[in-house]
Amino acid sequence: MTKGVFTRPFVRIEIEEALKERKPIILLHETDDRHGKFDFDTETNVPEDFRPKARQLLSDNESLGWARRDYAQEAVLNQIKRRFYKSLKSGGAGGGEKEMRKEQ
């Protein structure tokens, strides 16, 4: 997520659909001011009718900060993989943890 992400109509549509369908959500936010650092403000520049959904999204899901250094990117990508495989396992797809261990 970057600054102003909730002002984008298609982003809001995707978020609304994911919440409605109870899809697993993995949040990743920009941490660098030079690239539109996300500020977790659910009021400013967020359409009034979307504010409750933005608050829900941010309170129900931990967001990973995106770092630009190689070693930090690798750590964040590993966390994304873990969360993804965990969502597969909890969603009944199974096998995700085995696949992750094979990759490491």
What is the tens place of the pLDDT at every residue in 29-42?
999 999 999 999 98
pLDDT band for 67, please (50, 70, 90 cuts).
Answer: confident
- Compare 11 and 102 and report the one with higher pLDDT: 11
**Contact partners, residue 36, CB within 8 Å, separation at least 6:** 2, 3, 4, 30
Strands (E), the chain: 27-30, 63-66
pTM of the model: 0.74
* CA dihedral for 20, 53, 15, 72, sign (positive or negative): negative
In 4-46, alpha helices (H):
9-20
> Do the beta carbons of residue 67 and residue 37 sit within 8 Å?
no
Higher pLDDT, 96 or 66: 66
Mean pLDDT of all residues in 58-87: 91
Average pLDDT over residues 76-80: 93
